Chain A
C-alpha cells in the first residue's frame, strides 16, 4: 500500500454540468402543479417491492450511496475535534481491507455538512481529500433570523471556505402562498452564494401538503437552486419517499422545460442501507442514471454510513457484522 489514490469519485464521468441559472417566476406553471397525495403514497409504498439489488450489485450500490452522503453533524455540542473526527471518516469512510476485498479503490463521502462555526475547521481537516464542505445557513433550522443577517451568514460561510451552502427557505412564504416572496428570497440567497452551490432546504415536514412541496420545489428551481433538499433534520417529519417522489418529479419537469439538471438531497431519517438502495432506485427510475452521482444526488445523513459499513462487511465475509468493527466518525 503506497500512496493514496485519488478518491474514486473523482474518476466518475463527472462532466461538469452547467449550473441552473434559474428563470423568471412562471406563476401559471406553479399554480397548475398538482400532487395527488394518495396516488403518490401508493407509488411510494410499492417502490421497495419493485426494485431489488443483490450481492455484488448491492455492494456496488452501497458504495455509491456512501459517495453521495453529506456526512453531517449539526449539534450544539460540536467541537473542532469532533468535526475533525467526522472529516477523517468522510475521507476514509470504509475500512481499507473491505475495499480491497471488493476490488475498489478509495472512496469518500460526498461532503461534510456542518454549521458555520465549524466550516474553517472542516475545510482544513479535509484539505487534499477532495471532499467539499457544506454549511447550513440562513438562520438554520428555522430561518427566522433577520433577513440581512441571513444573507450575511451565507457570505461568511463562503468566505470561510464552504463550497456548498444549504439554505432554509421561509416556510411562511409557502404557507401563505406568497410565491413571489419565496422566489425573491431564493434569488437573493443564490446571488449571495456566488460560486458556491446552493441547496434549498424546503423543510417539507412543515409545508402542510405535497402540493405545496411541489410548488415550492419549482419556485426554488426557478430562482436558481442547484439542489433541492427535503429537510433540516430538525422537523418532526423529515425525508420520506412520498415527499421525495414529488420533489424528483418536479426536478424532471424542470429539466424537461429548461434543460437544466437540478440535484436532490433527502435529509433526515435515512439510516438503513436498505433505505439508501430504495432512494437510489427511485432516482434511477424517475430521473435516470445521471442522478446517481454526487453532483446531483446527496443523502443528508449521520448514521446511515455505519449501517452500510456493516452490510459491506457481510457481503465480504458472509457473516453479519458488528458496529464496533468499523471506525467511528
Chain B
C-alpha cells in the first residue's frame, strides 16, 4: 500500500517486534534444552516440542524430566539448602538484587521469548509481566535483607517444589522463586509444559547473578513431572498455581506427608458495575479484566454483574468497544489480544461458548488464521447457567444483572471460587461497604488486575489458600523455629473392673446453637477417672450432629461482622466466669486426668489468662496499608475465615480447648469444636460458662465423640471454611487433609507433633494468621 493510500485509509499497519535475538538464543542452544540441576544444564534427554501458538511453529525441543532427574534436582536442592540459609539475609539480598537487575537488563529478551512461547501480546509481556518480575525480585531482596530483624523466630522450610502455569510463566516463576530464596529455601521448579522457555533463560541468568549451585533447579516436562515433585519425599513444601482440579489432587496426595502446601487455583471473578460508576472507565476496565492475556488469567474479571437499570446501555457500549479490539500476531506492538496458548485450549473455549445459552456477541474483529478466538460477550445469563459458574479461561465474558447492592453481593458470592472481585462505583460508601462483603482474596475498587509484590495475592474457597506477596507471602516459605516432638496418643481411661458410682447421675450433652442437644444417634459413652470413678457420660456425635452444629455456626454470621471491641468484652466476660468457677474446673481436671491439685489449678489459671490474651488481641489484629508503586491504597485486611472446625488437643483438656476456641472467636470466626476424646468433660462444663457469658448462640458449638469418626465429616463438610486439628489421635491429620480436598478448605494440622500449650506455642502468631484470611483491597484514588 502506498503512503497516499494509507493517508486515505488510516490503517495501523504492521508494527512487528523483532524476534531475532530470541531466535538467536534458541539457535545457540541448537533448539534443544536439558534440565537445570545443581547449577548446570544437563544434556537434552527425551524431549517434547514447545511451539509458538500464533504460528504453530516449533520453537525448541525440551527435556521430559525422568523420576531420577527430579530426584537429582531435589538432592541438589537439599545439599545446597543449609549453606544458602546460613549465608544470611544480607548475602541472599545481594543475589536477589542481582537477579532483579539482570531481569531488567535482559527485559526485551524475556518479553519476546515469553510472547513467542505463550502467544500473549508483546505489550503485555514487555509492559506488565517483565516489570512485575523485576519488582518481585527487588521487593524480596529487601525481605531477605530484613529477615533476621523482622521475622525473628522464623526459618526456612527447606526444599520447595514449585509448579507454575502457562499463562504467566516468568511472572509466576518470580512469585514462587523470589520469596522462597529470600527466606533461605532452595527450589525445584517446573514450568508448564507449553511454556518452558523463559524459565530456561532464567536458569542461565542464575549463574551470572551468583545464585549458588543447587539453590535453583528447573525441571521441565508434563504433568508426570509435577506428580513426581509432589510425591517426592525430600521436598518440604509444595507451591502450586494452576487449575482447581489439579490443586485438589495435590491436596489429596500430600495429605499426611507433613508437606507445607499453598495453592493458587482457578476463579470466576465477579466484575460489579453500579449505576453511578464512570461507565466508560468501567468498560475500559473490562478490557484489562477479561481480554488481558486473552482471558487466560486466574483472576480475570470473567463474570460481569451490571445494575439492571444501566445494563442495556452498558452492553451496547461494551460491544462497540469490543469491536475496536485488535486481535493478531502477539509480536505486533499494535495488538490487544494475542493467541490462545494451545489448540487444545481453543477447542475447549469454542465448545463451552457453542454450548451456552444467552445472547452471544463475538467481536466484529479481523481474526488471523491459527490459534485465535474473538473477544466474546454472552449476555442474558442467569447465575444458574453453566457459564456463570464454570471457568472458561479464554476471552469470553459472561454477564447477568442485579437490582440492589445486597443482590450484587449475593450474586457475586454465588460461586465455588473466591480469588478476586472488582467493584465500580463513584460512591465511596458503597465501595467500602461492598468490598469486605465479597468472598475474594483480592478486591479492586474502580480498577482491575492490579498486582504488586507488596500486596498479598491469593484466594479463598476453591481458589486455593496461602498468599503470595507482602509479609503474608513469607509465611508460606518459613516456619517457626521452636522444636516439636512426636505426640503420643492420649487414650481415654478404660472402664474399671469395679465401678465407683457417686452422687447423682450427670449427663453432658452436645452444645449446638447455644443450646444443649442430645446426640442424634442416641449413644453415649461413660467417662471414668483413673481411680475408677464414673465421672459422667458424654454424647457420641454423628454426622447429623455435625450438620446441625455447622448450620448453627453458619447462622451466627453476625459474629463475623461484630466489632473487635465487642468480641474482647465477651472474651473477658468468659474469663471472669471461668475464674469464678475455677475450683470446680480444677477438680474436674484432677478427676479426669489424675493430675495434681497444683497443676490442675495452674491449668485453670492459664486458661483464664489465655482468654485475656485473645481478648486483648481481639481489637488489635490490624490490617496494613501497603506501599504499592502507584497512587493507590492497597489495604491488607485480616478477615475472619468463617466457620472453623476444630479438634481440641488432649494434652491439656481445658487449656487446649480454650487455646483453640478463643483466638478463633476473637477474630470473628464461629467454631465447631470437637472436645478431647479422652477428657471431654472440661469442654462440656465449659459450655455452661459460655451460656452465662453473653456468647451469642452458634458462635461456639461443642461436640463430643470419636475424633476419627468426626474428622472426615467435619473436614468434608462443604460449608466449613477451615479445619484445625490438634488431636492426638493417630493419623487424624491425614484424614482431615484428604477430606478437606472436597472444597479445598484451609487446614491447620499438628501432623502428630506436640505443641507447647502452656508456653509460647499456645499463643503463637500462627493462631492469628490461621484465624484470618488476608483480603487485599486496592483503592486507587485521585481527583483532578
Q: Taking beta carbons and an 8 Å cutoff, which residues of A are in contact with B?
A: 8, 12, 34-43, 46, 49-57, 59-61, 63-64, 102-105, 208-211, 249, 256, 280-281, 284-285, 289, 292
Contact = CB atoms under 8 A, between A and B. Distances in A.
Contact of B324 (A12, A38, A39, A285): A285
5 contacts: A36-B278, A36-B281, A38-B631, A64-B7, A256-B317
Contact of A57 (B4, B11, B277, B324): B11
Contacts of B317: 256
Which 4 residue pairs spanning A and B have beta carbons closest together? A57-B13, A60-B6, A39-B281, A36-B278
Interface stretch (B168-176, B747-755, B776-784): B776-784
B278 A39 contact: yes
A46 B783 contact: no
Contacts of A59: 3, 6
B617 to A, nearest CB: 35
A39 B123 CA distance: 19
> Mostly helix, strand, loop or mixed at chain B's interface?
loop
Contacts, number: 109
A52 B14 CA distance: 9
A56 B2 contact: yes
Contacts of B123: 49-50
Given A42-B447, A292-B10, A54 B15 contact: yes
A38 B781 contact: yes
Interface string B757-784: 0000000000000000000000011111
B74 to A, nearest CB: 41
A114 B418 CA distance: 60
Nearest to B631: A38
A34 B12 contact: no
B784 A64 contact: no
Given A51-B12, A53-B15, A103-B4, A38 B446 contact: yes
Contact of A63 (B7, B12, B14, B781): B7
Given A35-B278, A39-B446, A52-B333, 13 more contacts: A34-B279, A38-B446, A54-B13, A56-B6, A57-B6, A57-B12, A59-B3, A60-B3, A60-B6, A60-B7, A102-B4, A208-B784, A211-B783
Given A52-B333, A54-B14, A105 B4 contact: yes
A51 B334 contact: yes
Contacts of B782: 37-38, 41
A143 B334 CA distance: 42
Interface of B: 1-8, 10-15, 123, 126-127, 276-282, 284-285, 317, 324, 333-334, 336, 426, 446-447, 631-632, 780-784
A210 B784 contact: yes
B125 to A, nearest CB: 12
Contacts of B15: 52-54, 57
B281 A43 contact: yes
Given A56-B2, A60-B3, A60-B4, A284 B10 contact: yes
A35 B279 CA distance: 9
Contacts of B784: 37, 208-210
A16 to B, nearest CB: 18
Contacts of B127: 46, 49
Contacts of B632: 38
A28 to B, nearest CB: 13
Contacts of B5: 60
Given A51-B334, A60-B3, A40 B281 contact: yes
Contacts of B14: 54
Nearest to A36: B278
B12 A53 contact: yes
A34, A36, A39, A55 pick with most chain B CB within 10 angstroms:
A36
With a 10 A CB-CB cut-off, give which of B282, B780, B784 has the most chain A CB atoms. B784
Nearest to A9: B7
B281 A56 contact: no
A41 B281 CA distance: 10
A57 B10 CA distance: 8
Given A36-B281, A39-B281, A56 B13 contact: yes
A55 B127 CA distance: 23
Contacts of A104: 3-4, 7
Contacts of B12: 51-53, 57, 281
B280 A249 contact: yes
B279 A289 contact: no
A103 B3 contact: yes
Nearest to A37: B782
A105 B127 CA distance: 39
B334 to A, nearest CB: 5
B334 A52 contact: yes
B7 A55 contact: no
Contacts of B10: 60-61, 64, 280, 284, 289, 292
A84 to B, nearest CB: 28
A134 to B, nearest CB: 23
A297 B333 CA distance: 25
B3 A56 contact: yes
B261 to A, nearest CB: 35
Contacts of A208: 784
Contacts of B4: 8, 60, 102-105
A105 B5 CA distance: 11
Contacts of A55: 13
Contacts of A211: 783
A38 B431 CA distance: 15
A80 B278 CA distance: 48
B336 A50 contact: yes
Contacts of B426: 34, 36
Given A55-B13, A60-B3, A39 B447 contact: yes
A238 to B, nearest CB: 15
A231 B604 CA distance: 76
A280 B123 CA distance: 19
A254 B488 CA distance: 77
Nearest to B14: A54
A211 B784 CA distance: 8
A12 B446 contact: no
Contact of A34 (B6, B277, B333, B780): B277
B461 to A, nearest CB: 28
B447 A12 contact: no
B660 to A, nearest CB: 43
Contacts of A37: 782-784
A43 B284 contact: yes
Contacts of A52: 12, 15, 333-334
A292 B780 CA distance: 33
B320 to A, nearest CB: 9
A129 to B, nearest CB: 19
Contacts of A60: 3-7, 10
Interface centre among B7, B8, B123 (most CB of A within 10 A): B7
Contacts of A42: 447, 780
A56 B6 CA distance: 8
Q: Which of B11, B281, B282, B780 has the most CB of A within 10 A?
A: B281
A238 B216 CA distance: 52
Nearest to A253: B280
Most interface-central of A35, A56, A208 (chain B CB within 10 A): A56
B278 A34 contact: yes
B319 to A, nearest CB: 13
Contacts of B783: 37, 209-211
B334 A50 contact: yes
Contacts of B281: 35-36, 39-40, 43
- Report which residue of A37, A52, A285 has the largest number of chain B beta carbons within 10 angstroms of its beta carbon: A52
Nearest to A312: B3
B129 to A, nearest CB: 13
A36 B446 CA distance: 8
Nearest to B17: A52
Nearest to B5: A60
Nearest to B277: A34
Contacts of A284: 10
A283 to B, nearest CB: 10
A91 to B, nearest CB: 18
A102 B3 contact: yes
